[in-house]
Amino acid sequence: MEKTLSGKTALVTGAASGIGKATALRLAQAGANVLVAELDAKGAAQTVAEIADAGGTARYLALDLCSGEAIDRCAQEALATPGGIGIVVNVAGWGYSQPFVQNTPDFWDRVMAINLNGPIRLTHRLVGPMFEARSGKVVNVASDAGRVGSLGETVYSAAKGGLIAFTKGLAREAARHGVNVNCVCPGPTDTPLYQAVPEKLRDAFVKAIPLRRIGQPQEVAEAILFFASAQSDYVTGQVLSVSGGLTMAG
């Protein structure tokens, strides 16, 4: 396996499970030192152990995207890494399907915190030193829900749409500092989050996906690796759906 990320440190949020875990393992395989930034300490320890078993290096950082203080502490610890942070991947996300009229303000505050405001605060803390180093990659994981909407996920769609727009805005500002910012939008992907989607809806998804199956977390991780590596040095502000063709946004 090519070690295209040797010498880089990558912070990956949500790396205890699903797409975040697959991303942490893939970036480590490509030679990156991985910081597993997570709410779930037990799951994160498992990811760190799997990376170590495969001959890579990784470390756990506590993170709760619903707490500004926790985000700041996580960023401070991350920035103390020798050589600094070269790659930030905002993968952690959360939500479940529910009619908008049944949503409570607590529910949508949590959805907005984990999917949009938390990633904004964490990125804000980490991107300044990247600007100074005149090098870096930020990859945000949004969702096709943020491009085309998703029934029963109204506020989640709003948060992910916000993350897509944040990607584009920051990409314009970061370009002059040598930092690329891009976004990956998974479609239905086989993870614990997806298992919470009602079965009827999951069946409907498979019928609607041109490639006739849901995605695997490793397939999303490959797209993230592309945006995290030098292979995408001339790509910024872009949104890539990894969704079996479910959405074909222009």
Ligand X SMILES: NC(=O)c1ccc[n+]([C@@H]2O[C@H](COP(=O)([O-])OP(=O)(O)OC[C@H]3O[C@@H](n4cnc5c(N)ncnc54)[C@H](O)[C@@H]3O)[C@@H](O)[C@H]2O)c1
- Binding segment for ligand X (CB under 6 A), chosen from 28-36, 86-94, 101-109, 173-181, is 86-94
The answer to whether the beta carbons of residues 156 and 150 sit under 8 Å apart is yes
Is 20 a binding residue for ligand X by CB under 6 A? The answer is yes
Question: Which of 12, 24, 38, 239 contacts ligand X by CB under 6 A?
Answer: 38
Is 92 a binding residue for ligand X by CB under 6 A? The answer is yes
Is 60 a binding residue for ligand X by CB under 6 A? The answer is no
User: C-alpha distances in angstroms, 202 versus 117, 149, 199?
Assistant: 28, 16, 5
Question: Which of 117, 182, 189, 229 contacts ligand X by CB under 6 A?
Answer: 189
Is 63 a binding residue for ligand X by CB under 6 A? The answer is yes
How near is the Cβ of 178 to ligand X at its closest, in Å?
26
- Cα–Cα distance, 133 to 185 (Å, whole number): 28
Residues involved in catalysis: 156
How near is the Cβ of 8 to ligand X at its closest, in Å?
22
How near is the Cβ of 135 to ligand X at its closest, in Å?
25
User: For the chain, what is the largest distance between any 2 Cα atoms, rounded to a whole number of angstroms?
Assistant: 50
Is 64 a binding residue for ligand X by CB under 6 A? The answer is yes
How near is the Cβ of 153 to ligand X at its closest, in Å?
9
Question: Which of 48, 51, 114, 183 contacts ligand X by CB under 6 A?
Answer: 114
Angle of helix 18-29 relative to helix 217-228, nearest 10 degrees, comes to 50
How near is the Cβ of 54 to ligand X at its closest, in Å?
19
**Among residues 33 and 241, whose Cβ is nearest to ligand X?**
241
- Cα–Cα distance, 99 to 95 (Å, whole number): 12
Binding to ligand X in span 116-175, by CB under 6 A = 141, 143
Is 18 a binding residue for ligand X by CB under 6 A? The answer is yes
Contacts with ligand X: how many residues (CB under 6 A)? 29
The answer to whether the beta carbons of residues 220 and 226 sit under 8 Å apart is no
Q: Which residues bind ligand X (CB under 6 A)?
A: 13-14, 16-20, 38-40, 43, 63-66, 91-94, 114, 141, 143, 186, 188-189, 191-194
